[in-house]
Each structure stands twice: as structure tokens, then as C-alpha cells.
A and B are shown apart, each in its own frame.
Chain A
């Protein structure tokens, strides 16, 4: 009976069964190995293969002028690249793409051929092109490919071009307010200078990311998205800059540079009531859209980054403090000998003056000796108190990159000559903006108001952060009114040093300033000067304060005026800028 059980057929069946068992066992083991032992590694491998993570760049915020016109904005841009390994005919590709590249046809063709030989996968054709240029490139490539297909059919040697996103920061007005706006890094669009740097954290936004499932050719599978963290757009910034006034200031400054041979200069225009800086011009200028011409020195916002000894424009504080304290009135006679010796210094007036003058003439004629006498009556302590109240020696509050605070030693450390020197604008350093704020105080009935450039920050969530400038009373209203009258005489009186600041349509008041530049290397004052004029208009109800500072002007006008003096070089710039600004602001002329 047993012999019958182990028949040949049964043995075959057993063998087949064993083969099946082994085969299925092998498959089972492999499955167990893949799904069990190697499960984690395989899952990660598969995840890496089909999942792609891409960063989402946040759109950088826009910088507007006060009228909502873009001063700096970000538009879509692209880097145009090709993969030489995917180009069947590098010569033909170079012929089509060379017109869009910085490289010549031969250079590009050689680079593509070399790229194929070295198995390079990435050759740049053009960097930072805008969307329109991209469209033109796409059309040219499409046209070439269609012609090639018509010619060669299935054997067509097609050109494949890739476009990588590269947002472009652009400046519609180019050179307008360039130093105020600043610029961003070439590749990462991070703020490097000016408002772009100061408000970088607001403007840049927060990057997002997208994790997508892709097919074997790398295309995103619809509904395959795993995660999307949207980017948060940067905040927009609305500045107080008025483009037309800024343009007028820049044009006037440019013209002054040519007529006075100055090596640099700045103009600041501030609205009296609010402290808004509507124009802030610096020379040399630059075009933010043309980076080939940008040197670090021209990026400097001279109105806040350059400090200078303000010279006679600081006499206004000395006299205002004395009048405010009741120490003198505008009619108080002041002895004005030709010179006065204090300590090791001999101070003298520029030009001939009477033996005595009322205080109002001390200002009008810009008498050094008279102002020093007034300062001696005022005392160092009170003088220092007013200087700090007017904002000297401390930040203006403007909060822009590169701003300097100037220097003002405390009165406790003043020596025998400090008070006299500071009274006439030496031994103290200020910026043009600080001096504009000083005259803004007098124009604003004695209330110092913090100047500001950024009116509002508009967050993407709709929040608005508005600037709320600080202010404080420095002078009584009566003193401020009297000072405006005295400053008006400087411009409107034919004997005033600032008569060249007179305008055809508006009355004005202001003060000239000329200080010799200190040669740091030689340790002495040089013959070069810093010439300035700071004033306000219209005189009876000032709307704007304009500060003009010229670095090292020189030359003689046809009427004999020395251009190294503020009254000859800076005062006409004031007149041109102030008149343009007042017309632009719609202020009704007050001069018949």
C-alpha cells in the first residue's frame, strides 16, 4: 500500500509544491524585508523621490511717496538659463539666445559647446530680466523651434530654455530721492542703505514654503500638495517725500554744484506744522536702476550723514535764547568792536560794522562780535540748555540708516572759548536736518517737532502704524514771532546777508552760515568753507523750512560776491527750492 502512495506523480506534485512554497516564501521574505526591515529607509527614499520642497519668496513691500506714487517696488524677474546637455545644436541655440545675453554669439556658442563636453547642466543666458523680456525670449525660442520642426520633423533639434524666478527691485523714479530710499542686495533683495535698510525687517516679509508631490518628470501632481505655508508679504511704507519738491530740490542743488564748484551738498525741506520731510536731496546723485555707476560715497545721505560746523546759522539759537530769557530784546544795543579777544582766540566780524548795533542788526549783519557779547550775557549753562532743547547733539528721531547725531559737549566741560565759539557756530557739529529742525521750531511758534520721513507703515493684515512725532516747546510764542521778524530782515532788508534768498512770490526769513572747514590731518582750519542757508517761508505763517548746505563752494560772481559764503552760494538755492515747494503745496503767494 505505501509504495502506491509515493508514486512518481506524487513526487512531481510535491516538487512543484515545494517550488511554489519556496517561490512564495522568497517573495514573502522579500516583502517582509522591504515592508518591515527596510520600511523606514524605503519610505524616506520614496518621500525624497516624489516630494519637493520649494521656498516661497515673500513680495517685498513697496515704498511710496506722499501721494501714493511708487518710489521703490518689486516686480517679477527671471534668470534665463539652459542645460547644455539638452541642447542638440548649441550653435543654433547661441544664435537665438545671444541677443538677450551679455555674451556675444561666439562666446555663448563656445560656452554651450564646452558645457556639453564637460556635462555641465547650467549655463546662464541672461540674469535679472523682466517679464516682458522673458516673453520676448519665449517668443523667439518658440518661433525657432517651430521653424526647426517644420524643417526636420521628428528629428528637429529643439532649444529648451528655463526661467528661474528672481524678483527685481526697481525704482520708477531712478535718481529721485535715491539716497533716502537706499538700495537692496543684488541677489537677496535685502536692504543695504537708506529706508531699504532701516525698514528692512518691515519690508522683507516672511518667506513661506510649499511641499508638493511630483511625478517622475518633476511636475507637481494636482491635489498632491502636502503642505503650503504661504509667504507673508512685506509691509508697504508711505514716506513723506513729495516727488515734485524732491525733484526741484535736486535740480536746484545740481545747478548750484555747477555754479559754485562745490564738491557736495544737501537740501532738506520740512513742513513746519507736522515735521514731515518732503524733500531730502544729496549731491553727488545716483540712479538706483543703474548699479554700474554706484559708488559707496554717493550712496551717503548727506543731509543726515554729514556733520559740519554750522557757522552763523547757529547764531539764531544764541539770540533766541537771550530774548526768550529776557536778557536782551531786539532793540538792545550791543557793542560791536572790530574784534574781541577771548582766551587764545581773537574773534572778528566779516566786513565793516558800526561800533554798536541793536540785536536785530546783529542778526541781520551776522556779527560774530555782537553774538559773542549776547552769549556772554546769556551764560554757558543757559546757552547749553537751549542748544539741547533745539535738538543738537542728539538723534533727530528720523531713524534712517547712517544718521549721525553731531557733537555738543556738555557745558560743564566747556573751556574759556567754548561758549563764544559755539555762539557763532563753531566747536559744535550738526547735520543739515538738525538745523532744519532748529529753524522749524522758530517757524512753528517755538515748538520743536521731530522730523520724520515715514508717515505710515501698512502691514499686510491691514494694520496701520502711523508716525506720531514728538514735540516740545522750546521758545515762547512771542520769542518765536520776534525771531521770525529778525530772520525776515536778513532776507528782506537790502543790508541783510541773506538778501539773495529773496523770492518773487513769497516773503521769507532765514540765516546765512559760513564756516571754515577743519583740516583734520593738518590740525588747522582750512580756507575751504561749508556754506549754508536755512530759512522759512512765507514769513508771516511759515509752511516750509528749507536748509541748504554746500561743501567747499568757491569762485566769484560777476557782481563780486564770494561764492564761498552762504549768502552768495546757498541763499539762491533756498529761494529756488522754497518757491517751488510752496507752489507745489498750493500756498497762496504773499508778495505783491
Chain B
């Protein structure tokens, strides 16, 4: 009887067999992975664009706020100008108003006392803005 080597499976050959055996079903995870990468890539682009759009909108809003603030300042200037005593006096004169010959002082109850008039809270008055 001639001695004959007994064939055995090496780890290498078994792995090769396994690879050959599993090559078909592993496409799916790879595809999913690629899809995920692509999705993440486009998501990042989309997020970046969204962020930029939001930033543009914010910039527009800020510009709008600045414009309104500017208008508000102009209006405050107008209101203060309208209260200019010189303007009022000239306007009164133009429409024919004159100072009364006789002044009659009428004292009415429940009006502020002199002290109250004099000690109104100045900062509060300023913060409330110009009186009408």
C-alpha cells in the first residue's frame, strides 16, 4: 500500500470557499453603505444650502429691522419737530390766534399738585417717548 497524503482544509481554502459562497448576498450592505454615504453627502450640501438661505433671510431681516429703526428715528425727529414751540407759535399766528386779553384761572379739584408736577419721574417720561 502506497502512502497517500490525506487532503485537508486549510483556513485559507475554507475562507476562499466562504467568499465564493457569500459573494452574492453581500452586495446589499455595500449598496446601502454607498447610498448612506451619498445621502449624507447630499444632506450636508442641502443643510449647508439651507443654512445659507437662512443666513440670507436673517441678513434681510436685519436689514429690514435697521430700515424700520431708521424710519422710527425719522418719525421721532418729526414728532419732536412738530412739538417745537416756535413752530406752534408761528402756526397759531398764521391761522390768526392771539393771546387772550384777560386770563381767567380756573382751579379744578383732583389735578396734580405743583409738587407732583415738578417731581414726575424724568427717566420714565423720557423712556415713554415724546408726549403727544
Q: Are B59 and A222 in contact (CB under 8 A)?
A: yes
Q: Does B94 contact A (CB under 8 A)?
A: no
- What is the predominant secondary structure among interface residues of chain B facing chain A? helix
B108 to chain A, nearest CB (A): 10
Q: With A68-B128, A175-B86, A223-B51 given, is the CB distance from A274 to B118 under 8 Å?
A: yes
Assuming the A-B contacts A68-B126, A75-B70, A456-B123, are A585 and B131 also in contact, with contact meaning beta carbons closer than 8 angstroms in the complex? no
**Chain B residues within an 8 Å CB radius of A132:** 74
Cross-chain contact A73 with B76 (CB below 8 angstroms): yes
- Chain B positions 59-109 with a Cβ under 8 Å from a chain A Cβ: 59, 70-71, 73-74, 76-77, 80-81, 83-86, 89, 103, 105, 107
Cα A587 to Cα B117 in complex, Å, equals 9
Does A271 count as interface, using CB distance less than 8 angstroms?
Answer: yes
A:323-373 near B, CB below 8 Å = none
Evaluate contact between A173 and B55: CB separation under 8 angstroms.
Answer: no
Chain B residue with the shortest CB-CB distance to A455:
B122
State the Cβ distance, A228 to closest chain B Cβ, in Å: 12
Task: With A69-B131, A73-B73, A223-B51 as known contacts, state yes or no: A464 contacts B123, CB within 8 Å.
Answer: yes
Interface size on A, residues (CB 8 A): 46
B47 vs chain A, min Cβ distance (A): 12
Q: Which of B52, B71, B84 has the most CB of A within 10 A?
A: B84
For residue A289, give the distance in angstroms from its CB to the closest CB of chain B: 10
Residues of B within 8 A of A504 (CB): 103
Q: Is B20 an interface residue (CB 8 A)?
A: no
Chain A neighbourhood of B89, CB < 8 A: 247, 251
Among candidates B51, B70, B85, B125, residue contacting A244 with C-beta atoms closer than 8 Å:
B85
Question: B17 in the interface, Cβ–Cβ < 8 Å?
Answer: no
Q: Could you say which of B58, B73, B130 has the most chain A C-beta atoms within 10 Å of its C-beta?
A: B73
Can you name the residue of chain A whose Cβ is closest to the Cβ of B69? A76
Residues of A with C-beta under 8 A to B59? 220, 222
Judge if B112 is at the interface, Cβ distance under 8 Å: yes
Bound-complex Cα distance A386 to B66 (A): 57
CB <8 Å contact, A458 and B126 = yes
| Contacts known (A172-B84, A236-B126, A247-B85); A75 close to B73, Cβ less than 8 A | yes
Residue in contact with A456 in the complex, picked from B76, B81, B118, B122, CB distance below 8 Å: B122
A64 to B131: give the CA distance in the assembly, Å.
12
Q: Nearest chain A CB to B97's CB is how many angstroms away?
A: 15
B111 CB-CB contact with A under 8 Å = yes
Contact of B80 among A73, A244, A455 (CB under 8 A): A73
> Which residue of the partner chain B has the closest CB to A237?
B126
Contacts A73-B73, A271-B118, A588-B105 given; indicate if A173 touches B126 (C-beta within 8 A): no
Closest partner residue, chain A, to B131 (CB atom): A67
Question: Are A238's CB and B51's CB within 8 A?
Answer: no
Interface residues of A in 31-83 (CB under 8 A from B): 64, 66-71, 73-76
Pairwise interchain contact B86-A174, C-beta atoms closer than 8 A:
yes
Q: Is A170 an interface residue (CB 8 A)?
A: yes
Cβ B52 vs Cβ A172 within 8 A: no
Whole-angstrom distance between the Cβ of B49 and the nearest chain A Cβ: 11
**Across the interface, which residues of A come within 8 angstroms of B123, CB to CB?**
238, 456, 458, 464
Q: How far is the CA of A456 from the CA of B119 in the complex (A)?
A: 13
Inter-chain CA distance A505–B103, complex, in Å, is 8
> What are 29 A-B contacts with C-beta separation under 8 Å?
A67-B131, A68-B125, A68-B131, A69-B80, A69-B83, A69-B131, A70-B76, A74-B73, A76-B74, A131-B70, A172-B80, A172-B84, A173-B80, A173-B81, A174-B86, A222-B59, A223-B51, A238-B123, A243-B84, A251-B89, A274-B119, A456-B122, A458-B127, A504-B103, A505-B105, A543-B114, A585-B114, A586-B112, A589-B105
Closest 8 CB pairs of A and B: A172-B80, A222-B55, A247-B85, A68-B126, A68-B125, A70-B80, A76-B70, A172-B81
